[in-house]
């Protein structure tokens, strides 16, 4: 039976390392994987659990780490503890001891081990029935890693670090991940007793295992579903390898859900992506933030999609950028369209090549086919916006609205100077500069009269 008298759960995240091998002025835990900081991945996973308190032990670049995380996770209660000297993992947890309650349990995690899953941590917590549980993994090459030493009954009796291991111990293939769930009562009992009498002259957190065994505590061990869950990051090569492992996992999950990738190795998901059935994603497409795709969406090469919702049966042609945009069903977009934040495209609308739209709504069945800029505008249903049309929404100080009502027709190369309203069924002649409202069913022309000079002689070079 667990020694915990309370079911409270704390998390201690060790994030004090410099990461010298990263060759970066940025602290290691602020390096990014799949568009998110390493430490951010750990925090996001923790808060899928029912966590009562999160303690982050910081050190190198502490101000930068605190500022970044506090800005991104202002809604989360985080306790910061400084580790002014890096004297080992045991020392790192020990400096947080004053912040830990005497009861309940604590998960001990690492800011540079970003991909441990919610499911694994839930299992780890459930496995702690006698005071301590830990993540282990059997690997083909355990070199450099702490070995799990078991007794004749198969129970864990110690963790032996590589430099302290004898020849027989180095043959052990089961390794320690460093991730634990421990009763707080045990942490308060064991951490003050840690010694640095070892080859590294560091305070090993692993020594609490030996102390628990001496007290008769049965230590539970579970293995994660995926080996990458316990992989840490120490250099750029490891970061790239872990990035690809994570991308492969996300792509595989989406394939199971019915998404077809032209090449699963040439897509990046930097956030979350959910998709319906019969979705096709071509090469070099990047998803950022939270993206949702409906059924039968077809995305061609090179598109960048950020925090967007794409409705059923949409077709995104090559090299479109879609950012914070809501797209209805049956919409055709691109190629080379740029949909900026707060754009809404209604069902069956069309946005063509080299069109930029910002903070605008394009109504059902309306078309903006070529080389246009539509900003701060509301376009009704069935409207046609000719090639080269722009809404002149900025006077140098203020942004103003353009309203184009149902079934309006805007001729090519027109400039609509906001604030202005183009009425229902109105027509704007090509090449017009429109500075006043246009009535419904009217034709508006706003261009200079054509002048012709016969037998004109061009200037010649002197």
| Residues 103, 177 contacting (CB under 8 angstroms) | no
For 229-252, the DSSP string reads GG----SHHHHHHHHHHHHHHHHH
370 is known as an active-site residue? yes
Nearest to 158 by CA among 176, 173, 141: 176
Nearest to 191 by CA among 177, 172, 212: 212
Nearest to 253 by CA among 147, 117, 433: 117
**d(Cα 273, Cα 190) in Å, to the nearest integer?**
43
**d(Cα 404, Cα 440) in Å, to the nearest integer?**
10
**d(Cα 383, Cα 426) in Å, to the nearest integer?**
10
Angle at 72 between CA 88 and CA 339, to 5 degrees: 135
Nearest to 96 by CA among 57, 126, 135: 57
Q: For the chain, count helices (H), then strands (E).
A: 7, 39
How many Cβ atoms are within 10 Å of 12's Cβ, its own excluded?
Answer: 27
Q: Rounded to whole angstroms, what are the CA distances from 278 to 219, 265, 365?
A: 47, 19, 24
| Residues 437, 421 contacting (CB under 8 angstroms) | yes
Provide the 8-state DSSP code for 130.
S
Angle at 57 between CA 54 and CA 59, to 5 degrees: 150
Question: Catalytic: which of 226, 315, 364, 370?
Answer: 370
Nearest to 222 by CA among 182, 183, 179: 179
Residues assigned a catalytic role: 370
């Amino acid at each position: 039976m667990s020694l915990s008298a309370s079911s409270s759960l704390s998390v201690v995240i060790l994030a004090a390392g410099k990461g010298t091998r990263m060759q970066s002025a940025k602290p290691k835990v602020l390096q990014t994987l799949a568009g998110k900081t390493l430490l951010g991945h750990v925090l996001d996973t923790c808060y899928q659990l029912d966590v009562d308190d999160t303690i982050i032990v910081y050190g190198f670049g502490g101000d930068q780490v605190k500022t970044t995380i506090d800005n991104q996770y202002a809604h989360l209660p985080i306790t910061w503890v400084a580790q002014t000297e890096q004297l080992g993992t045991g020392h790192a947890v020990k400096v947080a001891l004053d912040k830990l309650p005497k009861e309940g349990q604590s998960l001990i995690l690492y800011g540079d081990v970003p991909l441990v899953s919610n499911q694994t941590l839930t299992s780890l917590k459930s496995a702690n029935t006698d005071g301590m549980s830990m993540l282990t993994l059997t690997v083909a090459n355990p070199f450099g890693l702490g070995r799990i030493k078991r007794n004749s009954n198969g129970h864990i009796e110690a963790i032996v670090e590589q430099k302290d291991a004898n020849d027989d111990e180095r043959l052990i293939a089961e390794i320690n991940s460093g991730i634990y769930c421990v009763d707080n009562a045990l942490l308060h009992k064991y951490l003050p007793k840690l010694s640095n009498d070892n080859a590294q002259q560091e305070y090993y957190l692993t020594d609490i295992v030996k102390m628990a065994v001496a007290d008769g505590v049965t230590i539970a061990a579970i293995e994660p579903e995926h080996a990458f869950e316990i992989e840490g990051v120490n250099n750029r090569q490891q970061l790239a390898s872990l990035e690809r492992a994570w991308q492969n996992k996300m792509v595989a999950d989406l394939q199971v859900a019915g998404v077809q990738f032209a090449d699963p190795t040439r897509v990046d998901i930097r956030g979350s992506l959910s998709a319906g059935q019969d979705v096709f994603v071509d090469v070099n497409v990047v998803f950022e933030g939270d993206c949702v795709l409906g059924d039968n969406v077809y995305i061609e090469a090179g598109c960048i999609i950020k925090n967007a919702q794409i409705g059923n049966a949409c077709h995104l042609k090559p090299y479109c950028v879609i950012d914070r945009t809501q797209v209805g069903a049956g919409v055709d977009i691109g190629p080379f369209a740029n949909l900026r934040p707060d754009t809404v495209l209604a069902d069956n609308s069309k946005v063509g090549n080299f069109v930029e739209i910002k903070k605008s709504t394009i109504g059902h069945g309306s078309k903006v086919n070529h080389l246009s800029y539509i900003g701060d505008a509301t376009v009704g249903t069935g409207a046609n916006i000719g090639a080269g049309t722009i809404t002149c929404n900025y006077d140098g100080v203020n942004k103003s609205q353009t309203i184009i009502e149902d079934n309006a027709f805007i001729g090519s190369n027109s400039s609509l100077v906001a604030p202005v309203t183009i009425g229902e069924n109105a027509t704007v002649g090509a090449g017009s500069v429109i500075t006043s409202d246009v009535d419904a069913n009217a034709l508006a022309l706003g261009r200079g009269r054509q002048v012709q000079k016969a037998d004109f002689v061009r200037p010649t070079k002197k």
